Structure 1
Amino acid sequence: MLDKRKSSLLAIVAFLGFLSTVDGQGNRRIADAEPKYVATQEGQTLNLMCRIALPITSCRFIIPGVPEEIKLNPTWKRNDNFRYHGSGLENGNCGLTILSIRKEYHGNATCILDPNDGGLDAIGNIEIVIAKAPQLPVIESSNIKDLEADKEIEVECSSVDGRPAANITWYLDDQLLGPGEEEIVDSPNEGTIYYTVYSKLRYRVRPDDNTRFLICRAYHPGYPEGFADARMQLNVNYRPLAKPETIISGLEIGSTATIGPISIQANPRPTLRWTVDGVVIDEGQQTQRYVANEPIQVGVSIWNASLTIIELTLQDTTRTYQLRASNAFGATDYRIRIGGSQDAPDSGLGIVSIVAITIISLLVLVIVVLVVVAKITKRWCFAGDSMHPNGPDSEAQIAPEDDKTHEHYEQHEKSADDEPETGADDVVIKATNGKAKGNTSV
């Protein structure tokens, strides 16, 4: 019986709609309806308005699920759920307030206004959608379990059986990505049409997307907060990221020094290998004075590497240290140098001072050696001037001519040494050169 009455009402609406297309002069007459479309929920209050630019004598509404026309005027209160609203029939206002929306009100509502000019009724249409919240959105993640940086992924989110259709938007944490490619499918259910929405997103992941949340947000008036989220945390794998050459300063020569920390960004955890002058030291191992420490995680996919040098030498500061970090997705080499090699032992001396002291020490050593040798051999570089009083300025100069004269001179000196002393201030020197003989006393 109810179905027959609904069919009769629809037929009446169609007939009235046909009549309303023309006025007394054959022109269309359509009421201005506000809103044209409205989505609401059960229990909410809804205002509908139809108006024309003429005074009207009557105001009627046909609401889906209500068996009779609702005749309205400012004083009409026959139904507890419906009220007239507007500025009066004389101003062409035909408004309806629905105090509490019911699910059977879903559909097209029609307003019918009778003008006082004797012409045809004016008709307006308003689509009322009683919102039904869809199921919570779901992200299909079967194809994105193992992500690799710089590669494109394709994900799909669905919002099932909603009325009206949900609007889906994609986010990466708080970063808006966009709506994606959308498809809306009708889902009949118990004679009512619901809508399922599929949204597909293509996105190229980056290393810094690791641990961020990919969010499918479905907006719908049926949700208590107006929207609902589906979230999926990304696990992005990538090789250790490259970085410029690192210079370590402030190390003290002679002490146990640490090169580092060298910050490495990678996922998963990298394996470390140091190379020093061709010597390879794997993480956790010690070779000679070098200890390669195991990496320490200090953040999300961030690892600190370090190399300990026992008793840092000046030569260590001139070397270039190479660190290789590798995981299943690749390897990256890093170069590290020790800068500021002015640091010295506890004496506080700089490199220039050390070199100067070394040179001075060598000079002193050379002088000492020369003195010792000269004393042993009795050969002095100034012997000709100081060993004998007969120098260039004496009155009688001795100039031996040949080996015989020199031998005679040495024998004469020897015989003179054997003679008794004649006095502390009386020294006699005798010399024979073959041509002249003289005595000089000092």
Structure 2
Amino acid sequence: MCMKPATSRCKMTTTTVWACVFAVLCATFVKASRPNAVVDIEPKRETAVRVGESLQILCKAAQPLRVCRVEIPGEGSIVLNEGPSEDGIEYYGDGVKTGQCGVRIAKVKEIHDGTFKCSLTTVNARQEATASLKIIVARPPNNPDLRTSTGSVQRNIYRKGEKLEISCSAPSGRPAANISLFLDDEPIGNDDSRTVVYETNLDDNSLAMQNASRSLDWTDNGKTLRCVANHIALDRPKETTMQLEIYYPPQPHPTFERFGYVIGRQGIINVTVHANPRPRFIWRVNDEKIEEGRPDESNRLETSTAVDLGKGAWSVILTIDSVQKSDTEKEYALQANNNEGSYEYRIVLSTSSEPAGVDLDAGSIIGIVVGVLVLVLIIFLVIFARATGRWCFAARRRGDEEAAGDVGAGSEAHITPGDEDDEDHEDPRIIDEKVPQGGQENPIHASTEYVNGRTDVKKDEKTDTPV
């Protein structure tokens, strides 16, 4: 009997305990889930700044503040008040009553690199709300490092058509440098090439690298390959350069035409050849060969030693001491050959003046002549058709004839009725003479006449004025 009531009391006690525990847990959960004040920070992303520059960071809450506290790398925790600055660090904002807690650093130091943190306590809260921002105090990179693939001739000597692999990097920059590759002033790189940044753990330094490739042409010989690094901490970019040397055979060229030679005067034949390395040159005049720097058998012709114009261009001259008519009829050729290949250039001499404008070959000249003749023929046919009323002008001629017939018919229609049977009327404008009633002749003789295109207006015969 007693055991039953005791058991009931035990069950009630257990239920009450569990209810209390549940209430405490709920209260704790609600308190823990109560959101802190949201803090907005500007700038919102990490910011890079040079040593000695000023920096402003602003934290904002939606309610007035009781406490405005910031943590600056290298300076520790600082409670800011709306007062004068201390050591170049001062409050920044519209006041703590507006919920703003900012800091202005007059001159950034190297020690300020790191994570900035602001902690705000509003008037109706007991806990701090925080926001953070990464400050990057810029450090310039080392000199760029430019590396290329090994050439097929020597370490840095390549051949025409060879593929060149290039790597450009700028180490130890904070933040990473912006790097670019140029060939002289032309940007180079594949469409998908981009700068790759490798972060290091040592002082937050970064290695920026860009790779590219290029198929070399003979026009790239002598150009300068440039690896350029730009950085916020640099007043001007840093760059590393390398000049390219490319081997290629003498480049083809159409026949050289030289004009303006005068009989009896000295004549100079100048030819520029592009080849690398330096080719060997031999002149051929008809069947006679002349080595460069030597005269021919008659001593009338003399060749010069090739002059290096730079970047694989060579100037070679053949001098004629006194030009004769027979000299313009000879066949001239210049042979150039090096280890990469050979080519023979042909030269034609003329005593005519050099034509103005663009040099044209025989095919172009023939095409222009034919076009002019066709245009003259078309103009002649148009004039002939217009004059004779043929083809497209036939309809116009018929229209003119019909218009002329209508004008003649209109002139006959103006003959006064009663006179249409008199074909020899002496004046078709005179229609009638009227005598006033009473038999007396009117001293003013009026006749019907066209006046301003009308037949009903009278004109005085004596004064010739409308009446």
What is the TM-score with the length of structure 2 in the denominator? 0.60
Q: Which residue of 1 aligns with 2:141?
A: 134
Answer yes or no: is 1:282 the counterpart of 2:291.
yes
Please show how residues 233-252 of structure 1 align to structure 2 within 5 Å: 233-252=243-262
Residue from 310, 315, 328 that aligns with 2:326: 315
Asked if the contact 2:222–2:244 (Cα under 8 Å) also holds between the matched residues in 1, the reply is yes
Please show how residues 392-407 of structure 1 align to structure 2 within 5 Å: none
Q: Which residue of 1 aligns with 2:59?
A: 50
Report the 3-state secondary structure (helix = DSSP H, G, I; strand = E; otherwise coil) of the residue aligned with 1:287: coil
Give 1:53 deviation, angstroms: 4.2
Residue deviations 1:157-196, cap 9 Å, x none? 332223222221112333333595544334444xx34222
Amino acid at match of 1:184: V
Residue from 72, 75, 96 that aligns with 2:80: 72
Residue from 210, 231, 237 that aligns with 1:227: 237
Asked if the contact 2:36–2:129 (Cα under 8 Å) also holds between the matched residues in 1, the reply is no
Give 1:310 deviation, angstroms: 5.0
Gaps of 5+ in 2: 1-30, 354-467
Q: Which residue of 2 aligns with 1:148?
A: 159
Residue deviations 1:176-221, cap 9 Å, x none? 33595544334444xx342223332212333333333221112223
Give 1:120 deviation, angstroms: 6.1
Q: Which residue of 1 aligns with 2:413?
A: none
Report the 3-state secondary structure (helix = DSSP H, G, I; strand = E; otherwise coil) of the residue aligned with 1:208: helix
CA distance in 1, matches of 2:309, 2:50: 50
Report the 3-state secondary structure (helix = DSSP H, G, I; strand = E; otherwise coil) of the residue aligned with 2:143: coil
Amino acid at match of 2:211: K
Give 1:118 deviation, angstroms: 4.0
Asked if the contact 2:60–2:101 (Cα under 8 Å) also holds between the matched residues in 1, the reply is yes
Alignment CA distance shift 1:255-1:80 (3 Å): closer
Please show how residues 13-28 of structure 1 align to structure 2 within 5 Å: 26=35
Give 1:83 deviation, angstroms: 0.5
Alignment CA distance shift 1:25-1:261 (3 Å): same
Alignment CA distance shift 1:74-1:153 (3 Å): same
Asked if the contact 1:31–1:122 (Cα under 8 Å) also holds between the matched residues in 2, the reply is no
Answer yes or no: is 1:61 the counterpart of 2:59.
no
Residue deviations 1:43-85, cap 9 Å, x none? 4322112224443333221223333x221132264x3231111
Q: Which residue of 1 aligns with 2:197?
A: 184
CA distance in 1, matches of 2:41, 2:122: 13
Alignment CA distance shift 1:172-1:119 (3 Å): farther
CA distance in 1, matches of 2:238, 2:91: 36
Report the 3-state secondary structure (helix = DSSP H, G, I; strand = E; otherwise coil) of the residue aligned with 1:286: coil
Report the 3-state secondary structure (helix = DSSP H, G, I; strand = E; otherwise coil) of the residue aligned with 1:135: coil
Amino acid at match of 1:266: A
Give 1:127 deviation, angstroms: 0.5
CA distance in 2, matches of 1:49, 1:178: 42
Report the 3-state secondary structure (helix = DSSP H, G, I; strand = E; otherwise coil) of the residue aligned with 1:315: helix
Amino acid at match of 1:324: Q
Q: Which residue of 2 aligns with 1:391?
A: none
Asked if the contact 1:24–1:119 (Cα under 8 Å) also holds between the matched residues in 2, the reply is no
CA distance in 1, matches of 2:186, 2:330: 46
CA distance in 1, matches of 2:169, 2:143: 9
Q: Which residue of 1 aligns with 2:410?
A: none
Amino acid at match of 2:225: L
Residue deviations 1:214-270, cap 9 Å, x none? 2111222333x1531112222233333332211122223345533x11122333333
Give 1:25 deviation, angstroms: 5.7
Report the 3-state secondary structure (helix = DSSP H, G, I; strand = E; otherwise coil) of the residue aligned with 2:188: strand
Asked if the contact 2:168–2:181 (Cα under 8 Å) also holds between the matched residues in 1, the reply is no
CA distance in 2, matches of 1:120, 1:236: 71
Amino acid at match of 1:32: I
Amino acid at match of 1:240: P
Q: Which residue of 1 aligns with 2:398?
A: none
Amino acid at match of 1:73: N
Answer yes or no: is 1:271 the counterpart of 2:280.
yes
Alignment CA distance shift 1:59-1:24 (3 Å): farther
Residue from 114, 117, 130 that aligns with 1:107: 114
Answer yes or no: is 1:218 the counterpart of 2:224.
no
How many corresponding residue pairs? 315
CA distance in 2, matches of 1:54, 1:241: 79
Answer yes or no: is 1:85 the counterpart of 2:76.
no
Asked if the contact 2:262–2:323 (Cα under 8 Å) also holds between the matched residues in 1, the reply is yes
Answer yes or no: is 1:196 the counterpart of 2:210.
no
CA distance in 2, matches of 1:303, 1:153: 26
Residue deviations 1:381-428, cap 9 Å, x none? xxxxxxxxxxxxxxxxxxxxxxxxxxxxxxxxxxxxxxxxxxxxxxxx
Asked if the contact 2:149–2:165 (Cα under 8 Å) also holds between the matched residues in 1, the reply is no
CA distance in 2, matches of 1:181, 1:341: 57
Gaps of 5+ in 1: 1-21, 343-442
Q: Which residue of 2 aligns with 1:31?
A: 40
CA distance in 2, matches of 1:219, 1:309: 57
Alignment CA distance shift 1:319-1:72 (3 Å): same
Report the 3-state secondary structure (helix = DSSP H, G, I; strand = E; otherwise coil) of the residue aligned with 2:134: strand
Asked if the contact 1:23–1:120 (Cα under 8 Å) also holds between the matched residues in 2, the reply is no
What is the TM-score with the length of structure 1 in the denominator? 0.63
Asked if the contact 1:33–1:125 (Cα under 8 Å) also holds between the matched residues in 2, the reply is no
Asked if the contact 1:29–1:121 (Cα under 8 Å) also holds between the matched residues in 2, the reply is no
Residue from 282, 291, 305 that aligns with 1:294: 305
CA distance in 1, matches of 2:259, 2:230: 56
Asked if the contact 1:277–1:319 (Cα under 8 Å) also holds between the matched residues in 2, the reply is yes
For the pair shown, the structure with the greater C-alpha radius of gyration is 1
Alignment CA distance shift 1:226-1:48 (3 Å): farther
Two-structure CA RMSD over aligned residues (Å): 3.0
Report the 3-state secondary structure (helix = DSSP H, G, I; strand = E; otherwise coil) of the residue aligned with 2:251: coil
Q: Which has the higher strand share?
A: 1
Amino acid at match of 1:146: I
Alignment CA distance shift 1:188-1:119 (3 Å): closer
Asked if the contact 2:91–2:102 (Cα under 8 Å) also holds between the matched residues in 1, the reply is yes
